[in-house]
Amino acid sequence: MKFLAIKKDTILFFLAAGVVFAAIYGWFMFKEDNTMVFNQQADSEVREIDMITAELKSHSVDGKQMETFRWDPGTIFLEKGEKVNLYISGIGNEDHPFYIEGTDISGTVSEGEQTLVPLQFEKAGTYRLICETHAHRDHSVPMIGYIVVN
Q: What is the CATH number of the domain that holds 102?
A: 2.60.40.420
Q: Are 149 and 84 in contact (CB under 8 A)?
A: no
Q: pLDDT tens-digit profile of 23-34?
A: 777 766 665 544
Dihedral (Cα; 31, 73, 146, 135), 10-degree rounding: -160
Q: Are 118 and 147 in contact (CB under 8 A)?
A: no
Rg over alpha carbons for the chain, rounded to the nearest Å, is 21
Q: Are 70 and 54 in contact (CB under 8 A)?
A: yes
Give the residue numbers spanning the domain of 83: 37-149
28 lies in some domain: no
What mean pLDDT is predicted for residues 101-123?
93
User: What is the tally of structural domains in the chain?
Assistant: 1
3-state secondary structure of 26: helix
Predicted confidence (pLDDT) at residue 41 exceeds the cutoff of 50 = no
30 lies in some domain: no
SS3 content of the chain, % helix, strand, coil (to 5): 20, 40, 40
Q: pLDDT tens-digit profile of 56-94?
A: 878 888 888 777 888 999 999 999 999 999 999 998 778
Average pLDDT, the chain: 82
67 lies in some domain: yes
Question: What is the structure's pLDDT at 120?
Answer: 95
9 lies in some domain: no
What is the share, in percent, of the chain residues with pLDDT greater than 90? 44
131 lies in some domain: yes
